[in-house]
Amino acid sequence: MIGVLHTWGRQLQFHPHLHFIVPGGGLQPDRLKWRSSRQPGWLLPQDAVAASLRSGMQEALRAAAPDLHATVPDSVWREGWWVHFQPAGSGENVVKYLARYVGRTAISDERILEADDDAVRFAYTDTHSGERRECTLSAEEFMRRYLQHVLPPGQPFRLRSRP
């Protein structure tokens, strides 16, 4: 499986979430043959995955950065986390979708419609209606939103794999 951290929403607001591509099956014990899941379109119970993700994130943050963990409100670890599963066929479209976020930033040049010293106007797609909309922010607010998605110095991107 592969995962991508995505920190922004369509209007550059802080909206941290993860996207994962998880195969719908796995190799048989002989590691030579593929075995699909028994129920196409369903892999794991969403509530159990959400609880496990929340617990794992808390443990990992506590171990890796105890001072940072101490700044996270307790309510974050008590409230439910939202998990959404969606069958993606071969996964090709999902890979294309996620590829846009891996090597790029929170907004592309094409979305910026107008910018000057006072304000920035940019286009976005409304999540609920699917319609193209525009957002105008003061230059200061635009930069604040944009910069919250830049990793601080010394925060390397790391891949972890399990055998």
- Report pLDDT digits (tens) over 87-132: 777 778 878 877 776 666 788 889 999 999 999 999 999 988 999 9
pLDDT at residue 85 tops 60: yes
* HSE toward the beta carbon, residue 55, CA cutoff 13 A: 6
Q: What is the pLDDT of residue 162?
A: 47
57 occurs within a structural domain: yes
Q: What is the pLDDT of residue 5?
A: 79
45 occurs within a structural domain: yes
Find residue 25's DSSP bridge partners.
36
pLDDT band, very low/low/confident/very high, at 159 (cuts 50, 70, 90): very low
Q: Where are the beta strands (DSSP E) in 23-150?
A: 25-27, 34-36, 112-115, 119-125, 132-138
Q: What is the pLDDT of residue 149?
A: 80
Question: What letters, b where the CB count within 10 A reaches 16 and e where it falls short, cover 26-43?
Answer: eeeeeeeeeeeeeeeeeb
Q: What is the pLDDT of residue 148?
A: 84
52 occurs within a structural domain: yes
Q: What is the pLDDT of residue 15?
A: 84
Of 124, 149, 150, nearest in space to 136 by CA: 124
Count of structural domains within the chain: 1
Tokens of 36: 């699909």
| Mean pLDDT of all residues in 49-54 | 89
72 occurs within a structural domain: yes
Tokens of 145: 């939103």
| Mean pLDDT of all residues in 59-63 | 94
Residues with Cβ within 8 Å of 118's Cβ and at least 6 positions away in sequence, in order, are 138, 139
75 occurs within a structural domain: yes
44 occurs within a structural domain: yes
| Mean pLDDT of all residues in 20-47 | 82
126 occurs within a structural domain: no
71 occurs within a structural domain: yes
Residue 40: give the domain boundaries.
2-106
